[in-house]
Structure 1
């Protein structure tokens, strides 16, 4: 495949490429973020109305909080879909690649080796999600584990089978 020559190792070849579904998905976490953002914006709007009654332009300091609240509520619903629309997936006979092209962050390409020890987790559905890696993200109170993989793909079961075949081949090579 063109464009992969300087990325792939000798003997490595692309066996599957795909894109995730970019539809907006309503999950409980998304809805909670949306509601929190609306409450934040609502309080800022209330504050601005009350501050405007005192006269002057002091009420304008609430605009930034109102904007943040709207951003949190809208971002909570639409960011995941936007990120998926700007993602590409590739599976080789040795690694899984996730490429993204996002504003401010730019283009990125991450590779994850598929070994005999890689834990594969398939969430089946009309659009399947296949997790095969994890990373730690910093939070206010420490860190949390975030699972990584191919999200919302149409041929999840087939890709899962390909990854299992890669693992099987590696186990056979280890025994030899």
Structure 2
């Protein structure tokens, strides 16, 4: 049995007779994944064009007269979205992961995201998939599809993993041990 880490308190969420076997958090700080090989160039093109557009419109001679305000205001949402895609999503994701906790009990999988608790019966998991990363962390997917086109949050989980609707342990340390722990209790 793996000793639970004392970093989180799941005790108030445990059912009578339920035992906590493991708890942890996702990797902290900024993370880059294989998806970013596509997302970073796209965000740089989007953001670069938005910066170019706004710089051009705001530096026009006679700015502020007549219809120029429409073009100035039109570009601002695209600029904000571009800055979020280039830099903001990494900071936002890191901030969300600080309040994300995972636990495995002898009966359930628990994911605590701020005040929201998600619980899955360990004996009825639809899937258990392990993906290991080069930095020694790993992701265990337990349910759902985390693709850009199927997320119920309109793809934000694809850009910002902490917003994903997929039930997963994202970038945890010692993923093989946790994976084997889940498998052994799912089969029991």
TM-score by length of 1: 0.73
For structure 1, the residue ranges without an aligned partner over 5 or more in a row are 102-106, 170-176
Taking the aligned partners of 2:34 and 2:175, their CA distance within structure 1 comes to 23
* Shift, 1:93, TM fit: 0.6
Does residue 86 (structure 1) correspond to residue 99 (structure 2)? The answer is yes
Deviations 1:95-145 (A, max 9, x none): 1111122xxxxx21111111155421122341122121226524779xx99
For structure 2, the residue ranges without an aligned partner over 5 or more in a row are 1-5, 159-163
Whether the 8 Å contact between 1:130 and 1:160 is mirrored in structure 2 is yes
Q: What's the C-alpha RMSD, in Å, of the aligned pairs?
A: 3.0
Does residue 119 (structure 1) correspond to residue 127 (structure 2)? The answer is yes
Taking the aligned partners of 2:141 and 2:43, their CA distance within structure 1 comes to 29
CA distance 1:139–1:9, shift in 2 (3 Å): closer
Q: Which has the higher strand share?
A: 1
| Map 1:69-84 → 2, pairs under 5 A | 69-84=82-97
CA distance 1:167–1:22, shift in 2 (3 Å): same
Whether the 8 Å contact between 1:30 and 1:76 is mirrored in structure 2 is no
Q: Which residue of 2 aligns with 1:173?
A: none
CA distance 1:32–1:77, shift in 2 (3 Å): farther
Q: Which residue of 2 aligns with 1:109?
A: 117
Q: Which residue of 1 aligns with 2:60?
A: 53
| Map 1:28-43 → 2, pairs under 5 A | 28-43=34-49
